Structure 1
Amino acid sequence: MDIVERFLRYTKINTTTNREAGAAGVMPSNPTEHDLAKLIESELKELGLQNIKRRENAITTTVLPSNSAKKLPSVAFFAHLDTSAEQKNDTKAQIVRYEGGDVTLNKELGITLKLSEFPELANYVGDDLIVTDGTSLLGADDKAAIAAIVNAAQFFIQNPQIEHGDVTFGFLPDEEQGLRGAKALDISEIKADFAYCLDCCGIGELIYQNWNAGDAVVTFTGQSAHPMNAKGKLVNSLLLAHKFISMLPGGEAPEYTDGVEGYYWVKELSGNSAKTVLKLDVREFNEAKYAQRMAFLQDLADSFAKIYG
């Protein structure tokens, strides 16, 4: 089985992380993560690996033993089973030959992948692209990594002339909600000199730093009133939320920052005049600055409570 076939096979299992179940302590938060872990286990067994450990929480690990008499370094590779909570539709992967310009994802719905919005497309002229039909996430985060890891295992097993030390492969649940799977992993079980998390970026790119990441949920409770007699009574929670957003530091958002600059990421706003919920992500490379960002949000919320009740 080649890497493309593997990847497409994995995308057919919808493993959207479930934040509500995760908040209740359920792991994996989506039972389909178990389904994907079982599929990976079966493929690894077909390749000849036998020492596969799949746990009740879907954490799955195995080791490809060293094939050398030399004392070679051991390495581990990790990927995660779940996909982002932002989008729950079924993935509809398709392969298109990219010859430049825009890519029509869904002719019926008029959905287009535009070169003007994604200039990195120019790097892939003449290549096959795996895309969705525009109505769902693809799930390449992180099923592309899973396919790469299993394919690497297949490569080394089929090419025993290439000497290597012990190679550990790990597949973890619920990365998309605070690295829950990584935190549940007993790291003492991983006998590796160094490890790579396969979860990012352009071909050939290596990320060697990591940010502090957190989220904040701010709930605005207003006072509903009929518009005919709302004067002095109505407190519109939607407008409070907009005022709150406007008081975030200008320029400290993902679209304005680069490198190791931290930011507030306004991700979701939902509600009505009576109650509105604002969800933000906070990113900062410096731990002390991260704590300051979270404290700023708390101070801002406390100020709103004093002003508006």
Structure 2
Amino acid sequence: MADVTERFLRYVAVDTQSEDEQEAFLSTEKQKNLGRMLKEELEALGVSDVRMDDYGYVYGCLPANTEKKVPAMGFISHMDTAPAASGANIHTQIVKNYDGGVIRLNEVSGETLDPKEYPELLNYTGQDLITTDGTTLLGADDKAGVAEIMSMVAYLQSHPEISHGKICVAFTPDEEVGRGADFFDVKGFGADVAYTVDGGALGELEYENFNAAGAKVTIHGISIHPGSARGAMKNAILIGMEFQSLLPVYENPACTDGYEGFFHLDSISGDVEETVMKYIIRDHDREKFEAKKELMKEAAEFLNKKYGKRTVEADIQDSYYNMKAKIEPHMELIEIASEAMKKLAIEPKVCPIRGGTDGARLSFMGLPCPNLCTGGHNFHGRYEYVPVQSMEKIVLLLLEIVQKFTEM
């Protein structure tokens, strides 16, 4: 399984950062550079029906090599990296036989990975860690998943004695900006059920995710010279602060965990005349999710009564929903993955995703699709890392899942 590391390092060297708020799909054309690379590698491995469509999705399949009737399985990862931190000019390092101490990422800036700040590092004492140089993200989200799927495919192609049903693979663009399933060809993909390989630490197995929405709150103010502003100025910045104060103080990401939802003020910009606040709204419970959206509308209505009509506009758009309802009729997906983990001495950690995956939307598009771990930690930032041994074990996990489906 050593080739998974080589693949991962090759993939993270390609800048595939997506961009928010782009009307075009793809949000960045450079994502296709990795897509073309993966297409060529799949073709070289002898995979069937390999194609990259105009949207940048890459597909391929391994035909069944058994006469036994086995559900067609899918494995999916995304190619893009998050807009939150640079994905260009990534410089990696491999910390061999990690000793449990502070890892120096960058001699110039002094950036470090310190187990006092990231205590989960100590779980990997004696293992090999791939990190950044402290200036960019690493891209384990989700190029670790891409590398693991590709390594699984390569292994199956070189070991035809392993019986399996039809196996479909796909690599998607623009997942990090919430559009990874927009043009996914579910019918053409050809799978009955699937897994996204897009989770975190080894052992994570997820079939519940947030219901999600985005809100753009625009405050329209009136700017007047402050010397003569009494009774006439409407300061959009201050009204925006008042809007935020109407939301529950402790329902923000820094105060929530597990199944607790939140309002997250992601950005604020503007001046006295106009201020724009962008939020994400999350909750696992659909009723609580709807109540959160309603509370934002009520806050806008209250301020409009106070300051005048059309002072506050709250544009709220749903992004995706909790896939739990679509996975529960297919709990064999969770049972098989759990059994495969236990066979490999991996402790299954079935937990809710405090986020979303392509699988959430694909599940609502008719393709039940829970989420598997990739092994990565600290996604979307300069302190991201992934243990080599976790990636290698996840390749074995994917192979074990394939075999357990064949044994059904």
Residue in structure 2 matched with residue 162 of structure 1 by the alignment: 162
Evaluate the alpha carbon distance shift between residue 273 and residue 166 of structure 1 in structure 2; reply closer, same or farther with a 3 A threshold: same
Instruction: Report 1:259-298 matches (<5 A).
Output: 259-298=258-297
Is the 1:93–1:130 contact (alpha carbons within 8 Å) kept by the matching residues of 2? no
Cα distance between partner residues in 2 of 1:105 and 1:277: 36
Cα distance between partner residues in 1 of 2:278 and 2:177: 13
Is the 2:262–2:281 contact (alpha carbons within 8 Å) kept by the matching residues of 1? yes
Is the 2:74–2:193 contact (alpha carbons within 8 Å) kept by the matching residues of 1? yes
Instruction: Report 1:99-248 matches (<5 A).
Output: 99-178=99-178, 180-248=179-247
Compare 289-298 and 271-280 and name the one that shifted more. 271-280
Is the 1:91–1:132 contact (alpha carbons within 8 Å) kept by the matching residues of 2? no
Give the TM-score taking structure 1 as reference length. 0.90
Residue in structure 2 matched with residue 251 of structure 1 by the alignment: 250
Measured against aligned partners, the alpha-carbon deviations of 1:85-138 in whole angstroms (never above 9, x if no partner) come to 223452423124232233222232232223233221111122222222222222
Residue in structure 2 matched with residue 63 of structure 1 by the alignment: 61
Matched residues, percent identical? Answer: 38
Give the TM-score taking structure 2 as reference length. 0.69
RMSD over equivalenced CA pairs, Å: 2.1
Cα distance between partner residues in 2 of 1:88 and 1:31: 16
Residue in structure 2 matched with residue 34 of structure 1 by the alignment: 32
Per chain length, whose mean CA-contact separation is higher, i.e. which structure has more relative contact order (CA < 8 Å, sep 6+)?
2
Is the 1:11–1:91 contact (alpha carbons within 8 Å) kept by the matching residues of 2? no
Compare 271-280 and 55-64 and name the one that shifted more. 271-280
Evaluate the alpha carbon distance shift between residue 101 and residue 266 of structure 1 in structure 2; reply closer, same or farther with a 3 A threshold: farther
Residue in structure 1 matched with residue 6 of structure 2 by the alignment: 5
CA shift at 1:291, angstroms? Answer: 2.0
Residue in structure 1 matched with residue 78 of structure 2 by the alignment: 80
Evaluate the alpha carbon distance shift between residue 242 and residue 133 of structure 1 in structure 2; reply closer, same or farther with a 3 A threshold: farther
Cα distance between partner residues in 2 of 1:225 and 1:132: 49
Evaluate the alpha carbon distance shift between residue 9 and residue 273 of structure 1 in structure 2; reply closer, same or farther with a 3 A threshold: farther
Evaluate the alpha carbon distance shift between residue 233 and residue 105 of structure 1 in structure 2; reply closer, same or farther with a 3 A threshold: farther
Compare 156-165 and 245-254 and name the one that shifted more. 245-254
Match of 1:60, as an amino acid? V
What residue ranges of structure 2 are gaps of 5+ in the alignment?
309-408
CA shift at 1:255, angstroms? Answer: 2.5
Cα distance between partner residues in 2 of 1:52 and 1:262: 40
Q: State the SS of the aligned residue for 2:138.
A: coil
CA shift at 1:225, angstroms? Answer: 4.2
What residue ranges of structure 1 are gaps of 5+ in the alignment?
none
Compare 8-17 and 217-226 and name the one that shifted more. 217-226
